[in-house]
Amino acid sequence: MPIKPSGRAALAGLLLGVSLSAQAAIDDPPGDTDDTAATAATMADLVDQPPQLRQFLRALPKGGDLHHHLDGAVYAEHLLRWADADQACIDKADHRAHPGPCDADTDEPARGLASRAPAFYNETVDAMSMRDFVPGDGADSGHDQFFDTFGRFAAISARHRTDMLALVLQQAAAEHVRYIETMTDPAALGTLAPLVTDMPWQTGAYDKALAHIQDGIGQRVAAARQAFDDDIDRLDQRLGCDTPDAQPACDVAYRFQFYVLRTLPPEKVFAQMALGFALAAADPRVVAVNIVAPEDNPTARADYRQHMAMFAFFHRRYPDVALSLHAGELTPGLVPPADLRFHIAAALAAGADRIGHGVDIASEDDAAATLARMRNQPVAVEINLTSNDVILGVAGAEHPLNLYRRAGVPVVLSTDDPGVSRIDLTHEYERAVREQGLDYRALKQLSRNSLIYAFLPGPSLWQPKAPRRAVPACAQALEAQRMDARCRRFIKASDKARSQWQLEQDFHRFEHRVTTGRS
């Protein structure tokens, strides 16, 4: 006898030891008004009308995008336009970009490529993204195609960080996204090799290793901060920020995460962490440290526990530096069963403040305890629906999004690598509605979550242990939808609360427009 959807949820809760008694509260955000109810009803009527639903969701206030790789955020067409301007070359065999001069036998010049060789141009767009990708005989898997794209365009993206960030902020403004937290590394990362050459490396002897490279790390922190200064100056000039002609993108807040490559030898991973934590402690624009690259990579698998021990070591030295760790981006069959049993729990033990992906939660040992810990701390999970589909083949009912929600774990929706996946954040909200069954109130809470659990400085507008209740200083102002002196003082001292207040006003205006039918 088939199990009804509600029965499946109850069965999943029983098997994992997850209480579902709080389900009603999950979709019961604060501040509901008549306009909220009418807006929820309007969206419910659009679920089976994809074009109208997308139009609705594009206008929906979305808070933030917290799991976002800058290098993977830009569509291949933009990358090739920059390659054209740089007079770069594209390898005829594998579509890998590299600086000129070009070899007439093995390369196609990027200059004028779109008009001169449109078929090859389109093949290159496909090779640098998931566009038109269909796995099959003789083809890469979605997993391999996705990760291989980065090597094909790395020579272009490395020269255009400011250009990439400008496009990201412009897209965010067009989609009503208030905040971007993007993963990127300064050029100083590439200068770490000399520090590691004669490092006295012994697993676990982290104090000794750090003492050996400490002076060199300090020099590179200064270089990285200067690089960020230069990037941001160029960005502000390009967008016209602080001028009468400022673009809407200037109103999108952003911060950086420093990422560490988990596929390198352990001493190099350690040196990258040392730089990342020191930089985040010194520069408020860098709000977290992360770890990236395929989690199923043989080196990443073999060294996973050691990587978490390193994170724990640096977390003790830099307790104010946040951690958002990729963990559980795995499925049965991709790796041996033993690798599915502990990655998320180990990341939490290392000090993770957020978990990226978390797809394999149902395969973890004592998943109920892990879910309870994420609920109680709380630790949000960054859900990337399209990325999980194209890389891992996990979609629809197979995805654990609703398992996390039923367990009371805070969830945020994010894009991961929107340029590679050929998506935007609106698309992820569409998938959440059409594939995961989320209604308007659920989306509204996920949008709020994206700022509650963002690494913006300052206290939250919502109570830490009760994110559906406002802090006393602003409870009355939120209820009245009108700022008062007490709330103004609170918000003035908090970047996070200020963004959250703006989001509430965005929702108020959005719901009023939907209800009254005004554009």
381 within 8 A of 409, measured Cβ to Cβ: yes
| DSSP string computed for 200-211 | ---TT-HHHHHH
Q: Are residues 467 and 451 in the same domain?
A: no
Q: Point out the domain boundary residue: 455, 472, 505.
A: 455
Tell me which residue range forms the domain holding 226: 64-72+158-455
Distance, in Å, from the CA atom of 393 to the CA atom of 136, rounded to the nearest integer, reads 14
Bridge partners, 333 (sequence order): none
| Of residues 209, 196, 189, the one with CA closest to residue 272 | 189
In a domain, 475, yes or no: yes
Instruction: Give me the tens of pLDDT residue by residue for the chain, a chain 519 residues long.
Output: 333 334 444 444 445 554 433 333 344 445 577 899 999 999 999 999 999 999 999 999 999 999 999 999 999 999 999 999 999 999 999 999 999 999 999 999 999 999 999 999 999 999 999 999 987 655 679 999 999 999 999 999 999 999 999 999 999 999 999 999 999 987 767 778 888 888 888 999 999 999 999 999 999 999 999 999 999 999 999 999 999 999 999 999 999 999 999 999 999 999 999 999 999 999 999 999 999 999 999 999 999 999 999 999 999 999 999 999 999 999 999 999 999 999 999 999 999 999 999 999 999 999 999 999 999 999 999 999 999 999 999 999 999 999 999 999 999 999 999 999 999 999 999 999 999 999 999 999 999 999 999 999 999 999 877 777 899 999 999 988 899 999 999 999 999 999 999 999 999 999 999 999 864
Distance, in Å, from the CA atom of 379 to the CA atom of 409, rounded to the nearest integer, reads 7
| DSSP string computed for 333-400 | TTB-GGGGSSHHHHHHHTT-SEEEE-TTGGGSTTHHHHHHHHHHTT-EEEE-HHHIIIII---GGGSS
Distance, in Å, from the CA atom of 30 to the CA atom of 478, rounded to the nearest integer, reads 9
In a domain, 58, yes or no: no
Residues comprising the chain, all counted:
519
111 within 8 A of 118, measured Cβ to Cβ: no
Instruction: Tell me how far CA of residue 83 lies from CA of 96, 119, 393, in angstroms.
Output: 11, 17, 32
Q: Are residues 303 and 346 in the same domain?
A: yes
Q: Find the Cα–Cα–Cα–Cα dihedral 64, 67, 68, 72, rounded to 10°.
A: -150
In a domain, 43, yes or no: yes
Q: Are residues 360 and 412 in the same domain?
A: yes
Establish how many alpha carbons lie within 13 A of residue 160's alpha carbon, considering only the half-sphere containing its beta carbon: 25
Query: What SS3 class is residue 452?
Result: helix
Q: Are residues 402 and 432 in the same domain?
A: yes
Q: Are residues 449 and 474 in the same domain?
A: no
Q: How many CB atoms lie within 10 A of CB 208?
A: 12
| Of residues 453, 418, 436, 501, the one with CA closest to residue 71 | 418
> What spatial distance separates the first Cα and last Cα of the chain, rounded to whole Å?
48
pTM (2 decimals)? 0.92
Q: Are residues 233 and 343 in the same domain?
A: yes
Q: Are residues 46 and 86 in the same domain?
A: no
In a domain, 10, yes or no: yes
The dihedral region occupied by 376, where left means phi > 0, alpha psi between -120 and 50, and beta the remainder, is alpha
What's the number of domains the chain is made of?
3
Q: Are residues 333 and 270 in the same domain?
A: yes
What tokens appear for 476 in the block? 């009355």
What tokens appear for 346 in the block? 């180990």
In a domain, 505, yes or no: yes
Q: SS3 breakdown of the chain: % helix, strand, coil, rounded to 5?
A: 55, 10, 35
413 within 8 A of 37, measured Cβ to Cβ: no
Q: Point out the domain boundary residue: 412, 429, 455.
A: 455
In a domain, 440, yes or no: yes
In a domain, 12, yes or no: yes
Q: CATH number, domain at 417?
A: 3.20.20.140
In a domain, 166, yes or no: yes
Establish how many alpha carbons lie within 13 A of residue 517's alpha carbon, considering only the half-sphere containing its beta carbon: 0
Q: Point out the domain boundary residue: 455, 471, 488.
A: 455
Q: Are residues 106 and 217 in the same domain?
A: no
Q: Are residues 341 and 273 in the same domain?
A: yes
Q: Are residues 359 and 469 in the same domain?
A: no
What tokens appear for 353 in the block? 């403040």
Q: Are residues 193 and 326 in the same domain?
A: yes
